[in-house]
Structure 1
Amino acid sequence: MSHHVDVHVGKRIRHRRWLLAMTQQQLAEQVGIKFQQIQKYETGANRVSASRLWDIADSLGVPVSFFFEGLANAQGELAPVTPHGAHLPRSILPDADGAGSKDLMGDREAMDLVRTYYAIPENQRRRLFDLARVLSDAA
């Protein structure tokens, strides 16, 4: 049985890799392992060692803390968001009563939208973001 932290870290690896449009094979080659091992990490079937997580973080261009963002501790507090991950949605978004809502990062359409959004030039992206905020306030 997989530990919930291993599953969460695996999801964060998969999400970041997917946002970068990187294949499991490409990540595996950069880290120096077989792609099957990346598959096992991403599903939480295998636990990622500290040194391997360091290598994966380096390959994906994020700090190690990125993989723990959105993870609740025993008191139900979410791990803080680092500057590198601040622009990305959290894996678990709390709703109004504090319970977790749908895992948006697991939704392929949401991930495709995020990837497409970050492909837009920054000045246009900011204006699109402002428009989306106005539209969501009007709803």
Structure 2
Amino acid sequence: MHKGSCLCGAVRFRVNGDLPPPDACHCTKCRKHSGHYFVSTEIARDRIEIDGADKITWYHSSEKVRRGFCSVCGASLFFDPPHKDWIAVAMGAFEGPTGTELGLHIFVADKGDYYEITDGLPQNQQ
């Protein structure tokens, strides 16, 4: 069981089972949503329980995706493609050790010019 929350604790969640390796998305929308690149792990919807869902504000950043943040403290928490059977959860929102490691970088063609990716992990242009 992995637990997490937003900064103020108004939104809390629990994930049953191990966390898949997260990815770091460097697209412009993720960078604007989170303030830097967004690192998240894709969780099957039936493995996550969310308390305080009424405190989540959903922003539809495209026709296929919405992004969830706490309406109280503003913490970026979720990347949600409702047509998929998973929801991505921000790694920074988890409490304690996660037992996983970053797996890859995506949308690196869109990354900011103020940093370099030098960790040797796979990099997908899209």
Structure 1 length as normaliser, TM-score?
0.25
Greater Cα radius of gyration, structure 1 or 2: 1
Structure 2 length as normaliser, TM-score?
0.26
Indicate the structure with greater helix content: 1
State the structure with bigger RCO (CA 8 A, min sep 6), 1 or 2: 2
